[in-house]
Amino acid sequence: MSARLIEVRGLGKTYQRGSEALHVLRDLNLDVDAGEFVAFMGPSGSGKTTLLNLLGGLDLPSEGSITVAGDEITRMSGSRLTAWRARHVGFVFQMYNLIPVLTAFQNVELPLLLTHLSKTERRRHVETALAVVGLDDRVHHYPRQLSGGQEQRVGIARAIVADPTFLLCDEPTGDLDRKSADEVLDLLDRLVREYGKTVLMVTHDPLAAKHARLVRHMEKGALVDGGGLGSLADG
């Protein structure tokens, strides 16, 4: 039986736009077990990306709490939260966010430059991460020399290089053709099955969501239902 990894209670996020209060998330509760693959679906503006940002400690909620592996991150100071995020969270973005003037190796190495690892240890971590995503033969290639799918796999290698507790993926296949998208999704699925990673993914693509073990739907800042693959396929 998997251990509970993430507990979200009464989560709310409100932005002030002039005199108007914009409620992006409202009284949201969520539990995620370690080793789970969860997809969040819903219309634009439903709060999916805001939820991911809060879970990753990139933003702070207006109310409620987020606890990850026993740590309540909503109560952490800025410096402690930064250190926690570097240790526990791997981010995968729709547009890859690779630095064009750096090679695949150098892009993947970036998160490790903030650690106390030696150059030799960093190299070993980077080579392992690139091998996991199937790009150990593209170590010295620049982003412009890679296909979109390969760029995203470099992005995933960068996300896992520090062996984070969980991955947050915001539309990771949104800019890819179907074949490349399926390869990236198969890779995320393998990270869950073979390496025990926990993956939380925002997507608009029902075919992408089918790779998840659990699909949660969001509307107007709230989770409205949840289900596995069957519920998605039937709906």
* pLDDT tens digits for range 130-161: 999 999 999 999 999 999 999 999 999 999 99
Mean pLDDT to the nearest integer, 169-174 = 95
Sign of CA dihedral 51, 55, 59, 65: positive
Task: Supply the pLDDT for residue 1.
Answer: 56
Per-chain mean pLDDT for the chain = 92
Contact call for residues 54 and 60 (beta carbons, < 8 A): yes
- Taking the C-alpha atoms of residue 80 and residue 210, their distance in angstroms, rounded to an integer, is 36
Does the pLDDT value for residue 228 go beyond 50?
no
Task: Supply the pLDDT for residue 234.
Answer: 33
Rounded to 5, what percent of the chain is helix, strand, coil? 40, 30, 35
Does the pLDDT value for residue 231 go beyond 80?
no
**CATH number of the domain located at residue range(s) 34-59+89-234 in this protein:** 3.40.50.300
Q: How far from chain centre, in Å, is Cα 120?
A: 27
Contact call for residues 142 and 103 (beta carbons, < 8 A): yes
Q: From the CA atom positions of the chain, what is the Rg in Å?
A: 18
Does the pLDDT value for residue 229 go beyond 90?
no
The first and second tokens of residue 7, run together, are 């507990």
Report the percentage of the chain scoring pLDDT > 70: 94
Sign of CA dihedral 158, 150, 93, 179: negative
Q: How confident is the model over 79-106, as pLDDT tens digits? A: 899 989 988 999 999 999 999 999 999 9
The first and second tokens of residue 150, run together, are 């390969």
Mean pLDDT to the nearest integer, 37-52 = 94
DSSP code of residue 41: E
Q: By C-alpha distance, which of 190, 187, 228 is closest to 209?
A: 228
Contact call for residues 92 and 102 (beta carbons, < 8 A): no
- Taking the C-alpha atoms of residue 113 and residue 100, their distance in angstroms, rounded to an integer, is 18
pTM confidence score: 0.90
Does the pLDDT value for residue 45 go beyond 60?
yes
